[in-house]
């Protein structure tokens, strides 16, 4: 009897075969990636390290945005297309806040103060806008068949695009940064102060989010609602408030990412939300949607891949970067929709 059940627990022949295919596929892809990386390292190590650092910095930005996507999807199973555009609004807001309203365009003690203020302000803005979007557009459609909220999200994304277009103009704009532009040299790799600051602020943000989700009561409510909305309501959790809270922290993260992007890269463009939003969503899916650490891991990976692809000598080059990211998205969704760290869920009838 024990042998029979042990046999059964391995799965049907079809499942075993597909698991094997999955494993070989993963090994092949990892091998190809490793060979590519090694080839580039051998060819020019400093460039590789340089590009890798840049890629990781981008990955941090994507992680902040991807967290918003994955939180919202985990809780109401909706891909919030408008999230990337929220990030874009964050960049424009922080650019105006720092340069136009507070008139800070070089570094110094007042620059640091303005930066801190802006961080708070843009996070609050992101939270408020996201909660508003949820309240106005998504709440009514919570029980509707999936097509409706999806289309609404796309429409909302366009609406935010329009706001960005009117605010920023149709061409990209350059903004000065308040972070001093020194460069630190570690092992021959030049890392700018901006990157270091970003890591110093970004990582605590991520850890703070982790703390909120895993150790506070609100976080518990979030996880419960994500697991089963009705049961959570039966347990006394205010589902509407919890969902609003989720949107709020997702929006805050996107706002912070907006400020970082504006400081690190210095341009604002109304089209930014679409490009970066898709990349961030790919990261969330790569890591396993609904899984917070998955989003971070996925984002760092994608940032790295994109950076390597852009900058390395043996690579496809910048004009193919978007296609590469999309191709990754498609391959993951088709072959391993659960992502790297996600769980496979069976569809309930």
Partner 1 sequence: MLLFGIYQFLLPWEGLPGGIYDAIYLWIPPAAINESLVYVIMALGLNIVVGYAGLLDLGYVAFWAIGGYCAGWFMSEFFFFLNVHFLGSVTADRPGIHINFWLVLLIGGFICALFGILIGAPTLRLKSDYLALVTLGFGEIIPQIFFNGEDFFGYNISNGTKGIVIVDPLPVGVKNLGPFDFGWKLLIFILLAALMVFISLRLRSGRLGRAWLAIREDELAASMMGVPLMRTKLASYAVGAFAGGVGGVAFATHVNGVYAERFNFTISIFLLAMVVLGGMGNVWGVILGAFILSWVNGNGLTAFGTFYNEKFGTSIDFASFTFLLFGLVLILMMLFKREGLIPESRLKLMLHEEELDKEVADGKERA
CB of 59 to partner 1, least distance (A): 20
Q: Which of 90, 123, 281, 296 binds partner 1 (CB under 8 A)?
A: 281
144 touches partner 1 (CB under 8 A): yes
CB of 89 to partner 1, least distance (A): 13
If one counts every other C-beta atom within 10 angstroms of the C-beta of residue 284, the result is 35
Shorter beta-carbon distance to partner 1: residue 134 or 209 = 134
CB of 267 to partner 1, least distance (A): 20
314 touches partner 1 (CB under 8 A): no
Q: Which of 319, 343, 344, 346 binds partner 1 (CB under 8 A)?
A: 319
152 touches partner 1 (CB under 8 A): yes
Number of residues that bind partner 1 (CB under 8 A): 45
Shorter beta-carbon distance to partner 1: residue 170 or 214 = 170
Using CB under 8 A as the binding rule, the residues of this chain from 162 to 181 that contact partner 1 are 162, 165-166, 170
CA 271 to chain centre: 17
Please state, in angstroms and rounded to a whole number, the distance separating the CA atoms of residues 340 and 128: 32
Task: Pick the stretch among 74-82, 178-186, 217-225, 296-304 that binds partner 1 (CB under 8 A).
Answer: 74-82
Task: Pick the stretch among 44-52, 109-117, 138-146, 261-269 that binds partner 1 (CB under 8 A).
Answer: 138-146
Shorter beta-carbon distance to partner 1: residue 56 or 150 = 150
CB of 247 to partner 1, least distance (A): 17
CB of 221 to partner 1, least distance (A): 24
Please state, in angstroms and rounded to a whole number, the distance separating the CA atoms of residues 58 and 301: 10
315 touches partner 1 (CB under 8 A): no
106 touches partner 1 (CB under 8 A): no
Q: What are phi and psi of 268, to 5 degrees?
A: -125, 140
Q: Coil, helix or strand for 267?
A: strand
Where are the alpha helices (H) located in 11-140, listed in sequence order? 13-43, 45-76, 83-95, 109-133
Task: Pick the stretch among 29-37, 141-149, 176-184, 258-266 that binds partner 1 (CB under 8 A).
Answer: 141-149
- Residue 259 tokens read as 């400020």
Q: CA nearest 70: which of 312, 334, 326, 294? A: 294
Residue-level length of the chain = 349
Task: Pick the stretch among 94-102, 145-153, 257-265, 303-311 that binds partner 1 (CB under 8 A).
Answer: 145-153
Q: Which of 20, 43, 140, 190 binds partner 1 (CB under 8 A)?
A: 140
Q: How far is CA 257 from CA 73, 83, 335, in A?
A: 19, 12, 30
- Residue 174 tokens read as 């350059």
Q: How far is CA 100 from CA 152, 272, 349, in A?
A: 33, 21, 55
- Run of H or E residues at 328: helix 321-335
- Run of H or E residues at 152: helix 147-168
Q: For the packed helices 45-76 and 13-43, what is the interaxial angle rounded to 10 degrees? A: 150
Task: Pick the stretch among 13-21, 22-30, 158-166, 246-254 that binds partner 1 (CB under 8 A).
Answer: 158-166
Q: Are 187 and 49 in contact (CB under 8 A)?
A: yes
Please state, in angstroms and rounded to a whole number, the distance separating the CA atoms of residues 339 and 334: 10
Shorter beta-carbon distance to partner 1: residue 25 or 204 = 25
CB of 298 to partner 1, least distance (A): 14
């Amino acid at each position: 009897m024990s042998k029979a059940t042990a046999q059964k627990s391995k799965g049907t022949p079809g499942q075993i075969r597909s698991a094997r295919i999955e494993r070989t596929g993963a090994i092949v892809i990892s091998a190809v990636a490793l060979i590519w990386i090694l080839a580039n390292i051998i060819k020019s190590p400093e460039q590789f390290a340089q590009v890798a650092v840049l890629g990781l910095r981008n990955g941090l930005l994507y992680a902040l945005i991807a967290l918003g996507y994955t939180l919202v999807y985990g809780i109401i199973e909706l891909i919030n297309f408008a999230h990337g555009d929220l990030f874009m609004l964050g960049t424009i807001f922080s650019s105006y806040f720092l340069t136009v309203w507070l008139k800070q365009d070089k570094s110094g003690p007042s620059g640091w103060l303005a930066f801190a203020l802006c961080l708070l302000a843009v996070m609050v803005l992101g939270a408020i806008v996201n909660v508003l979007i949820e309240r106005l557009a998504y709440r009514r459609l919570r029980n509707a068949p999936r097509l409706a909220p999806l289309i609404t999200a796309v429409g909302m994304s366009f609406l935010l695009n329009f706001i960005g277009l009117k605010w920023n103009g149709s061409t990209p704009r350059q903004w000065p940064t308040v972070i001093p532009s020194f460069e630190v040299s570690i092992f021959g790799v030049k890392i700018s102060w901006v990157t270091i600051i970003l890591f110093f602020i970004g990582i605590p943000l991520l850890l703070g989010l982790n703390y909120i989700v895993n150790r506070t009561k609100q976080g518990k409510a979030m996880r419960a609602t994500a697991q089963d909305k009705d049961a959570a309501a039966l347990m006394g959790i205010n589902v509407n408030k919890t969902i609003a809270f989720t949107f709020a922290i997702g929006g805050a993260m996107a706002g912070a990412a907006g400020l970082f992007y504006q400081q690190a890269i210095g341009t604002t463009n109304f089209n930014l939300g679409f490009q970066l939003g898709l990349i961030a969503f790919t990261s969330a899916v790569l890591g396993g949607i609904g899984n917070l650490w998955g989003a971070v891991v996925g984002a760092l990976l994608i940032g790295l891949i994109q950076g390597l692809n852009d900058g390395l000598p043996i690579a496809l080059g910048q004009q193919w970067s978007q296609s590469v990211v999309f191709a990754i998205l498609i391959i993951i969704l088709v072959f391993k929709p659960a992502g790297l760290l996600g769980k496979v869920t069976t569809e309930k009838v």
